[in-house]
Amino acid sequence: MAIRVYKPTSAGRRNASVNMNEAITKKKPEKTLLKPLNKKGGRNHQGKITVRGRGGGAKRMYRQIDFARRDRDGIVGTVVGIEYDPNRSCHIALIEYTDGVKRYILAPNGLTDGNTVESATGEAIEPTVGSCMQLKHIPSGMNVHCVELRPDGGGKLCRSAGMYARLTNKDDKYATLVMPSGETRRVPIECRATVGTVGNSDHQQRRLGKAGLSRHLGRRPKTRGVAMSHHAHPLGGGDGRSKGGRAPVSKSGTLSKGGGTRNRKKPSQDLIIRRRKSKRYGQLK
């Protein structure tokens, strides 16, 4: 049982659950792959808050993940251990290659200590769990994660816990992927992907249970816009509770529900075959 619910010995424990992280086999991280992680508190380079509700939280070091694995082609790596990463929802796997180099990768479901992983540009390797190869060499119907959007760009898609994309079709230039959101899109067939599903799928089932754990994660309380003054938020002000008939927006006036968030000028938008669906607003355009 990966998610454990304890007896309600306190008000915070009553609604909380704990992820037991049973897949973890290594407790301490590899020091050579750590680097400091400075907190920004939601501020940009000008010191202005651009993301509200950020700040504080427990200190943590960043684990350097190898999302490309292109310089490890033809070198067999062995899994040393599965570790917890405080910077992401999934677990990470420490790989030691035959030449002595150590790297972190995202730990797929089913990868354990002692297993071997490979990466290659050609089709010289088998599409086993953890293998990194071009989409044109992966059989159709398989689940992949850490997918590149452009060749040599490093994995960008399907990197969180429990995520995967289904490889459904391939042609001369593009491979068709069905994303977790329901979106169907094409990706250049020379792009790389890792075979398998990202592990720690029980991450979404955990309940924090109290506000203190949110503060440990660096999430601060946020004041509702309608509770502010009229000069502090577009929805603020008024003699009583009123939104003024305006659609929900952020402090800067950007639509917060149902608004477009993608840059339509980028060429990757042309590769989308079927857009993701929203239960409330229908299919997004």
What's the pLDDT tens digit per position in 68-84? Answer: 999 999 999 999 999 99
Question: Quick one: average pLDDT of 84-104?
Answer: 96
The answer on pLDDT for 281 being more than 60 is no
Q: Specify the pLDDT at position 284.
A: 46
Rounded distance between C-alpha atoms, residue 156 and residue 185, angstroms: 14
What mean pLDDT, rounded, does the chain reach? 91
Q: Specify the pLDDT at position 1.
A: 53
Residue ranges per structural domain of the chain: 3-203+262-283
Q: Specify the pLDDT at position 253.
A: 87
pTM for this one?
0.89
SS3 labels along 42-73: CECCCCCECCCCECCCCCCEEECECCCCHHHC
Contact 188, 174 (CB under 8 A): yes
Q: Tens digits of per-residue pLDDT, 206-234? A: 999 999 999 999 999 999 999 999 899 99
Q: Specify the pLDDT at position 106.
A: 98
**Which overall architecture, per CATH, does domain 3-203+262-283 show?**
Beta Barrel (2.40)
Q: Specify the pLDDT at position 285.
A: 44
The answer on pLDDT for 141 being more than 50 is yes
Cα Rg for the chain, rounded, in angstroms? 22
The answer on pLDDT for 254 being more than 80 is yes
Q: Specify the pLDDT at position 204.
A: 93
The answer on pLDDT for 261 being more than 80 is no
